[in-house]
Amino acid sequence: MNWTSDEKQQLPVNTLKQELLQELKRILVYWTTETVDERNGGFIGRISAHNVKDPYAVKGSVLNTRILWTFSAAYNLLKTDQYLTLANRAWDYLYAHFADKVHGGLYWTVDYTGKAVDGKKQVYAIAFGVYACSEYFKASRNETAKQTAIAWYHAIRQYAYDKIYGGYIEACTQDWQPLSDLRLSLKDANERKSMNTHLHVLEAWTTLYEIWPDEQLKADILELLMLFDKQIIHPTTHHLQLFFTDNWTVKSTLISYGHDIEAAWLLLEAAIAVGDEQELSRFRVRAINLVRAALKGMDKDGGLWYEYDTAEQHLIAEKHWWPQAEALVGLVNAWELSGDPYYLDKAMASWQFIQQFLLDKTDGEWHWGVGLDGKPIEEVKVGLWKCPYHNARACMEVVKRLK
C-alpha cells in the first residue's frame, strides 16, 4: 500500500496518543495507591526510590500544590470521579495546613502533622498554589479555591512585584519582609530574580486568567511575555538565561535544556490565553527557536541532558525525569506549529528513551533520572521536588494535542 506523508505520520501519532494515555493512568495509579497519608492527612512527604515510605518527612508546598493540580487536571480531562476525590483531599489539606491565614500566601514546608516548619514566602511555590487552585476550580467549582487563587495573586503583586524594573523577587520572610537567602533550592544562585520563578508565575497567571479574565491580570501576563522576550531569552543563542539582579543584569552561565523546551510551549500558551495577535506571532517564532536551542542538549538516544555551564564548559551528564517530560510536549508543539516531521520524530525518540530508561516497571512511577551509564539515579520517588506534575502533565498535554 502507498501511504501519503500525512498517513505515515498518523500511524505513530495514534500509537503515541494511546501509549501516553495509558502511561497517564499508570502514573495516577501510583499516586493514588502509594502516596495518600491515611494517618496524618494529605499525602506522604517522602518515598524512596524503592518505595520505602517516611511517615515523618516534612511536606512541601511545591509537592502538594502539584498533586492538587495533577488530580484536578486529570479529572478535567478524563472525568474519573476518583481523581476529583483526590483533588478534594489535596485542596482540603493545602488550605488547612499550608495557607497562611494571617499574612497570606503559602508556607514553604509543614511537618508530618501539618504544623508549619518553614513559613518563608517563596514566590515560586505560591505561584504553584495559584496554578493548582485555578485548575481545581475548573474541576470542582469550589468558590473558596478561586478566591484563594485570586488572593494569592494579589499577595504576590503587593509584596514581590518590582515596581521599578518589573518582574518578581524570589522570596520574602513569612510576613513578607526582605530575606537574605532567596534560593529556591541549594543548587540555585542566591539572586533576586530567576527565570524559573518567572516562568511558573506566568504559567499560574495564565491558568488563573482562564477562570478570572481580569484586565490587570492580562496586563501582568503581557508584561511577563515582554520580559521573556527582552530580558530572559538570549537574543542570539535562544537559550534561557537563568538568574538576574533587580535590573536584569545576567548572573548565570548555565544552560537548562529542560527549561528551554518547557518555556517553548508555556510562553505560547500564555499568548494564546490573552488572545494578543502580536504576541502570538512573536512566540510562535520563539517556540521554534527555543526548541532548536534545547535540541543541542539531546543525546543520540533521545534523552535530554540536564545542564551545561558555558563558562566552565561542563556538562552535567544526567538525564532527569522532568526535562524528558517537557521535551515530549515541546517537540509535539513544534511539530504542530511547523508541520515538520523532524520534530515528531524527535518526540517519538524522546518517548522511546522514557520507556526504556525512566519508567519504573517494578515499583511504579518514573525514576529520578539516569546517569551517563544509563543506570537509574537512586533519588526519591516522592519528595519536595519529585511529584506527578511534569510527567502526568506531559501525558495530558500530548493526548489533548493529538486528539
Check if the beta carbon of residue 348 is closer than 8 Å to that of residue 356. no
Cell for 362?
Answer: 517494578
pLDDT of 3 > 50? The answer is no
Which whole number is the average pLDDT over 192-198?
98
Separation between Cα atoms, residue 169 and residue 90, nearest integer Å: 28
Condensed to tens digits (0 to 9), the pLDDT of residues 139-155 reads 999 999 999 999 999 99
Under the banding of pLDDT at 50, 70 and 90, the label for residue 250 is very high
Which whole number is the average pLDDT over 374-402?
97
Under the banding of pLDDT at 50, 70 and 90, the label for residue 5 is low
In this prediction the pTM is: 0.96
Cell for 307?
Answer: 545542564
Q: Which CATH architecture has domain 7-396?
A: Alpha/alpha barrel (1.50)
Condensed to tens digits (0 to 9), the pLDDT of residues 96-125 reads 999 999 999 999 999 999 999 999 999 999
Under the banding of pLDDT at 50, 70 and 90, the label for residue 12 is confident
The 3 state secondary structure assigned to 261-288 is HHHHHHHHHHHHHHCCHHHHHHHHHHHH
Write down how long the chain is.
Answer: 403
Sheet containing 314-316, strands listed edge to edge, beginning at the edge strand earlier in sequence:
254-256, 307-309, 314-316
Condensed to tens digits (0 to 9), the pLDDT of residues 322-347 reads 999 999 999 999 999 999 999 999 99
pLDDT of 8 > 60? The answer is no
Average pLDDT taken over every residue of the chain: 96
pLDDT of 1 > 90? The answer is no
- Angstrom CA distances, 321 to 43, 334, 348, 366, 387, stand at 21, 20, 16, 7, 10
pLDDT of 6 > 70? The answer is no
pLDDT at 4: 47
Percentage of the chain exceeding pLDDT 90 = 96
Per-position DSSP letters for 137-188, written without gaps between them? HHHH--HHHHHHHHHHHHHHHHHHB-TTT-SB-SEE-TTS---S---SSTTS
Separation between Cα atoms, residue 138 and residue 31, nearest integer Å: 21
pLDDT of 11 > 80? The answer is no
Check if the beta carbon of residue 161 is closer than 8 Å to that of residue 217. no
pLDDT of 216 > 50? The answer is yes
Of 211, 342, 226, which Cα lies nearest the Cα of 288?
342
